[in-house]
Homo-oligomer: A and B are copies of this chain.
Amino acid sequence: MIIVKIGGGAGINVEGAISDLAELKEKFIIIHGANALRDQLAEDLGSPKKTVTSVSGYSSVLTDEKALDIMMMAYAGLKNKRIVELCQQKGINAVGLSGIDGKVIQSKRNKGIRVRENGKLMLLKDFSGKAFSINKELLDLLLKNNYTPVLCVPTIDENNIATNSENDDIVALLQNEFKAEKIIQLIEAPGFLEDKNKPDSLVKEMSQNELEKRENEVEGRMKRKILALRKLFEGGNTTVIISDGRTANPINDALNGKGTTIK
On whether the beta carbons of A100 and B72 are closer than 8 Å, the reply is no
- List 8 additional contacts besides A69-B78, A77-B81, A85-B156; criterion CB under 8 Å: A44-B45, A72-B78, A73-B77, A77-B80, A88-B100, A93-B102, A93-B103, A95-B101
In the assembled complex, 29 residue pairs joining A and B whose CB atoms fall closer than 8 Å, in A order, are A44-B44, A45-B45, A69-B78, A72-B82, A73-B73, A73-B74, A75-B77, A76-B76, A76-B80, A77-B77, A77-B78, A81-B101, A81-B162, A84-B98, A84-B100, A84-B101, A85-B161, A85-B162, A88-B103, A88-B156, A88-B160, A89-B159, A89-B160, A89-B161, A93-B103, A94-B102, A95-B101, A95-B102, A137-B145
Identify the closest chain B residue to A150 (Cβ).
B101
A141: min CB distance to chain B, Å = 6
In Å, the complex CA distance between A96 and B95 comes to: 10
Identify the closest chain B residue to A159 (Cβ).
B89
In the assembled complex, A147 has its CB within 8 A of some CB on chain B: yes
> Please, which residues of chain B bring their CB within 8 A of the CB of A45?
44-45
On whether the beta carbons of A81 and B100 are closer than 8 Å, the reply is yes
> Please, which residues of chain B bring their CB within 8 A of the CB of A72?
77-78, 81-82
On whether the beta carbons of B95 and A97 are closer than 8 Å, the reply is yes
Identify the closest chain B residue to A156 (Cβ).
B88
> Please, which residues of chain B bring their CB within 8 A of the CB of A88?
100, 103, 156, 160
A42: min CB distance to chain B, Å = 12
Identify the closest chain B residue to A161 (Cβ).
B85
A183: min CB distance to chain B, Å = 24
On whether the beta carbons of A81 and B154 are closer than 8 Å, the reply is yes
In the assembled complex, A123 has its CB within 8 A of some CB on chain B: no
In Å, the complex CA distance between A238 and B201 comes to: 68
In Å, the complex CA distance between A93 and B137 comes to: 13
In the assembled complex, A206 has its CB within 8 A of some CB on chain B: no
> Please, which residues of chain B bring their CB within 8 A of the CB of A93?
102-103
In Å, the complex CA distance between A154 and B80 comes to: 13
Chain A 212-233 interface residues, beta-carbon cutoff 8 Å to B: none
On whether the beta carbons of A147 and B100 are closer than 8 Å, the reply is no
A227: min CB distance to chain B, Å = 29
